[in-house]
Structure 1
C-alpha cells in the first residue's frame, strides 16, 4: 500500500459518510463545519463549484481544527494545486486525467478520483491509486 493510500485511509477511517458541501456564502463554511464535526462528521468535501469555495476551505482548515477538509469537483492541475494550498487534506475529482495524475504525483495530498469506465479504472490502478469514487 502506498503512503498516500495509507494517508487517505487514516484520514477517512471511521467516517460514516463524507458530506459534500457547495458553499455559496463563505460566512456559512466555518459554522457548518463545526456543526458537522460536533455531530460526528469530521470529514467534509467542499466542492469547487462556487467563487467562495477556496476561501471556505482556507477558513475551515484554519478555524475548525477537528475538521478533515477536502476539496471536490477538482478538474485540473491548477485547481488541484489551489485546493492543496488552501489547506485541503484530500482531493476529490469526478474523473481521471493525466494532468490530475501528474499533479497528484507531485503533491503530498491524496487524490480520490472518480472512475466509471474500465480504462479509467486501469489508469488509476496503473498510477498506484487503490481507492476510487
Structure 2
C-alpha cells in the first residue's frame, strides 16, 4: 500500500470519513478480510483496493466466472481523486447493483469512471460480478 511513512492514519480512500485502518484496511488485510457485509461496502472497499494497489483483495473479491487472471498495479502517473456512490439497489438477498463515479487523473488528464456494478452473494460472501460503463 502506498502511504507516507511519516504521516498518521490517512483518510480512507472510499470517502467514508474514517481513517483507512478503521475502514477498508481490515477488509483488505485484517480481521474482516473478505467479509464486506453488503454490496455497497464491498464496492467501496474495492475502490480503496484499487487506490492502494491491494491487488490480491481485488482478485479475491471478483467472482470466479468473470475474474481476470491478474491485475497490474497503478501506473506511476495515475492518481485516484475520489469516489461518489450514486445509487445502491438490492434486487434480492443475494443480488445487488451499485452505481458509482470514480475520478482519477493520469498523465495530467482528469477522467471519470461511471459504472453500474453487479454483485452476487455466494456462501455468505459478496463478490463483484461485472460492470456496465455509463
Same fold (TM over 0.5): no
Q: Which has the higher strand share?
A: 2
TM-score (norm 1): 0.27
TM-score (norm 2): 0.27
Q: Which has the higher helix share?
A: 1
